[in-house]
Structure 1
Amino acid sequence: MKYRLFVLLFIQFLGHLVIQAQKASVEATINPIEILVGEQTQVRLTATMKEGGTAVFPVFKAGQYLTPGVEVLASTEEGVHEKENGFVERSVVYTLTSFEDTLYYLPPLEVIIDGQSCKSKSLALKVLTVEVDTLHPEKFYGPKNVQNNPFLWEEWSLSFWLSVFLLVLLTIGYYLYLRLHDNKPIIRPIRFVKRLLPHQRAMQEIETLRADLRPEDDNQESLKLYYTKLTDALRKYIEERYGFSAMEMTSSQIIDHLMKSADAKSLEELRHLFQTADLVKFAKYSTLINENDANLMSAIEFINETKQENEPVVQEVKPTFTEEEQRSRTQRNVLKRTILGVALIGTGLLAYIVYSLYMLLA
């Protein structure tokens, strides 16, 4: 019985020691322990506590001194890591620097865990400086110039070939411009001329015929020429007035077309005139006395009865071009469009090349 009681008491004592060993603790480490002036080192402060507990770490502002000569640059919390037996770890990393060469004593850092103060062990930081050989100043060298980045053909190849292509385009555009400059434009403006109305032109021809050509009854050629000119003047008037090709029709065909619009009485007299003219021209018919004057008056009366005086007297005359001139105008239009296309493509390529070079040199 005494032996068993002793064993139980020993086991309880060991459990108490284990529980005491696993209580909350704070640990601080530094890496590296030696730095040159202006370099940085990191202090990791780790708090071990029960899961669900709270820990308040020391807070330093950027530029605040941990100890005289050692400056805190930043602090970063690393989070929570689980351990055994229901314990967890929380860590905060402090970035330090110093600009004086000496050995620094870093005091213990205090962490409040579940309302109780826990401190880490103290640390040491050795700050070294660069040794300078003042006895041999000739070994000192000034600062080096700014070094250019290494040339990489892969970065410049696209801009180079696009520049070559742009030069080719500019050459082509200049050649096309010279061709366009040599191929002078053919300019013929639209003209507006005063024109005679159909009945005015016909009356002028009839008056000229009456004044200059008096047919002789015994001269068949003179009579034939008289009626040819008279009917031609009427045919031209009818063609312009009514809009059908009277110059290519027979006399009966002309009368049939006119039956739809002209007066029957005037057409009967016109029919007699055309029949007389056909007989004179093709059957060597000799007219009766005063028959020529009667036919002339019939033509004048037909024109006066059917004339239109409200037509425009100004006629637009559009320019006409030969086949060679039309070909030249077409070539000029093609050259203009091609030069415009080359200019647009060249402008786009130039903008892209400039942007690419700016990005490479920036």
Structure 2
Amino acid sequence: MRSVVLYIALFVSSWLTSQIEPTIHSDEQKVAEPFTITYEVSNNSSWTLPTLKKRDIIQKNLEIVNVKLDTLSEKIQLNLQLIAFDSGIYTIPSYRFKKGSQEIRSFEKDIHVSRVKVNTLQKPIYDIKPIKEISLTFNDYFNKYRWILIGILIALIIAILSFLIYWFIKSKPFAKKEEPEIPPGEEALSALSNLKEQQIWKEDAKVHYSKLTDVLRHYFERKLHFDAPESTSDEILSEIQPQLEEIEYKKLRNLLYEADLVKFAKSSPEESKHLLYLDDSVQLVQSLEEKIVEETEEEEEEALAPIEIKKTYFEFLGNLQKEIPKGDFALWWKIDSEDHFTNSISQKVWDSFYQNELAFYPYILGVILYEKGLNNERKAVLFPESEQQFVLENETVGTFVISISKEKGFTILMNTQTTSNEQRNAFLIEFITNTREFITNEITPPKQKEYKSKSYGDQAKDWYLFIRGMVIKSEKKGKEINRIAGKKLE
């Protein structure tokens, strides 16, 4: 019996000595005042200490505000700085400390926290201090306003995408198919017919004559190309007199002067005059339509008249071939890794041709077709509505294709597989040089001015400038462009 009691006593003594007693640095703890509790272990072996960190909640209203580990020569100290936010008795739980495979636990510790006693006799009671403002960090601002910032960023992205889509659609020349415009003659006659049916003069003569003269002014602006809506009656008569017979001129003068009297002097013409002026206006429009159509036809006949040429300029193009060749043909193509359309000989030649020499293409095309036996006379030729091709062969580039159409103009397509960069450049330089020589020697300055004013080939010019712009932008962005206006013939 004594041995049992002895074993029990030894076990209890061993158990008590193997536990760690926490020590507290102050006897009295107060609400909202930090206090420190320390755990000590010997420094003669490696310990695994409990994992505690700042802001851990031990129990309600009791929080860790700091954790500090001190390693001394003979011991290791774990210092926990605590703070209580209310009075009462708090129990610090038991924590596990490991030394190798041995586990040692700390004693629980009861702590009494009391309220701070206020001596109102010696110290007055002050008002509660205002909330202290602290400076916010970047993360604080970001977390506070992040949804606003995200909304602004999304709106900015949508605005940029909308602008890019709008710019792309607007800059694409064939993106929108426009409605055909009503000819000025048809528009004017339709408006005069409606005006006659409405009989506005019965209610307000001033409104009627204002509408009548507006129809005529708008027609003169579109048909005769002068600012009729902003011109006085005398200025209109002076501008249009060369286009009219004497009787037509007098009728228009009477109408305009009568309208001025109605609008500004409150004149009241007889009802028969209203119908007379409407009929005179219809006859005037019809007469001008017939005269201007005849003049246009005469100009076209003159433009397409036979051309007298002093020498052969396009013999270098070679001989006409009957069979369509097989292979890959293009206006320009990439020959090696260093080859780019931007600032190449090809770009410079075609820039010059489409922006300068293309205005004279009826002469150029007419002479080429005559020299190659495709036309019986040297007569100016307009581009066809649909694409036409003819094949030639010369010593510089071998077989090549000339393609003509109203949409794309005049393009020379060379074989991409057999034509070298040097051959391509030599041929294009010879082409543009001979074309310029032909224009300088065979087309007089007055004719040159006349051809430029007619805007021949504007649609083809727009096509080339669009293709050129897209290629140059792509190459600046580092995109590979392998060929332009390519065509595979089989």
Relative to the length of structure 1, the TM-score reads: 0.28
* Structure with greater Cα Rg: 1
- Larger RCO: Structure 1 or Structure 2 (Cα < 8 Å, ≥ 6 residues apart)? 1
